[in-house]
Chain A
């Protein structure tokens, strides 16, 4: 048995890769799938904080790759969903601690353990860690902000996904690419201050799989160590739920692209 490998990547840092990885993995687990989410950012571990399991990290991904711990020892079981596991990045090793063979072995073993999905949270940049995170992927979620440097970098990443991955090298079918637009601010788009969904789609020549509105709930969720998809009341959480459903093949219309209508009190008092 093999697991479907999904890489969450972007090129540029700070666009929402880890937030997306956490919510995507959680959403897949909510749909009943057995999911492992792996932090590939060796030296700058953060997924554990976003998932809220930072105090329970004993062994990490690098330990498993080097045979210092078994996969079972290193997988951290989520407190909320029992089919969801986190594999943390090493905080002390350097980024050369991962090897292609080692990563391949871990991904294969996860398949043998009955995992349906492995979500690979890529580090920023296009160096070794990012390369390894994407190399074995079947799907890629490219996270992009409606901002020039992020859009340009994501085009670069789309190019790498099409050439520098195992699927590309073997010629066994392209990676399925999903563009996820995050930090979207409909009010600023409406007045022409921010690139629109359509603009980004046109520039990159690929349709979005989801649009996550800029939301204060994302910071609140990371403060609390709860993936924002679990915040049903937030637009961001709902937009992530829609995105996961689409990745699983469901058809759902995009939401939260318009400026929210203000109520009477908001109009009078602002906010």
Chain B
């Protein structure tokens, strides 16, 4: 039966996985659409600076640009890890 099973093997049902991944990436790309090109770079440089003091991942830094009538808000949030002692400098 082993050989027959191998021959008959069907792809895994992965549509759900595709949908979930797309949902996340599409939402993320929509939120940064039309935002300045330098944002990813800004994010990386900020990460470098913050890393000097605390250990954080790239995902911990969130940058958003919001547009209201007449003005733009650059919103930046850094989620600091709990109970991590700051690096001694």
Which segment of B25-33, B43-51, B69-77 sits at the interface? B25-33
- Whether A2 sits at the interface, judged by CB under 8 Å, is no
Cross-chain contact B18 with A152 (CB below 8 angstroms): no
User: In the complex, what residues of A have CB within 8 A of residue B2's CB?
Assistant: none
**Given known A-B contacts A148-B22, A191-B10, A199 and B33 have beta carbons under 8 A apart:** no
CB distance from A101 to the nearest CB of B (A): 26
Those of A169-226 within 8 Å (CB) of chain B? 189, 191-196, 199, 202-204
A-side contacts of B14, CB under 8 Å: 192-193
Contact: B30 with A192, CB < 8 Å? no
B interface size (C-beta, 8 A): 18
Query: With A191-B13, A193-B13 known to touch, is A159 a contact of B19 (CB < 8 Å)?
Result: no
B15 to A196, Cβ gap below 8 A?
yes
B10 CB, nearest partner CB in chain A, Å: 7
Total A-B residue pairs with C-beta atoms closer than 8 Å?
47
Q: How far is the CA of A152 from the CA of B19 in the complex (A)?
A: 11
**Is there an interface contact between B15 and A199, defined as CB atoms closer than 8 Å?**
yes
Distance (whole angstroms) from the CB of A256 to the closest CB of chain B: 18
Contact A148 B16 (CB under 8 A): no
A151–B13 touching, CB < 8 Å: no
Per the bound structure, the CA–CA distance linking A151 and B22 in Å amounts to 8
A244 to chain B, nearest CB (A): 28
Residue of A nearest to B34 (CB): A163
With contacts A156-B29, A195-B15 known, is A148 near B21, CB below 8 A? yes
Chain B residues with Cβ below 8 Å from A189 are: 15
Are B26 and A199 closer than 8 Å at their CB atoms? no
User: Given A163-B34, A203-B23 in contact, is the A195-B29 Cβ separation under 8 Å?
Assistant: no
Are A203 and B26 neighbours in the complex by a CB distance under 8 Å? yes
- C-alpha gap A192/B30 in the complex (Å): 27
Tell whether B85 is near chain A: CB-to-CB under 8 Å. Answer: no
A155/B10 contact (C-beta < 8 A), A194-B15, A195-B18 known: no
The interface residues of chain B lying within 8 Å CB-to-CB of A202 are: 19, 23
Q: Does B36 sit at the interface, judged by CB under 8 A?
A: no
CB contact under 8 A between A152 and B25, given known A163-B34, A195-B18, A195-B19: yes
Contact status of A192 and B15, CB under 8 A, knowing A155-B29, A159-B30, A163-B34: yes
Collect the chain A residues with CB atoms within 8 Å of residue B12's CB: 193
Contacts of A159 in B (CB 8 A): 30, 33-34
Q: List 9 A-B contacts (CB under 8 A).
A: A148-B18, A155-B26, A156-B29, A189-B15, A191-B13, A193-B14, A195-B22, A199-B19, A203-B19
Given A156-B29, A193-B14, 14 more pairs with CB closer than 8 A: A151-B26, A152-B29, A155-B26, A163-B34, A191-B10, A192-B14, A192-B15, A194-B15, A195-B19, A195-B22, A196-B15, A199-B19, A202-B19, A203-B22
User: Sorted from nearest, which 6 A-B pairs have the closest CB atoms?
Assistant: A192-B13, A199-B19, A203-B22, A192-B15, A155-B26, A159-B33
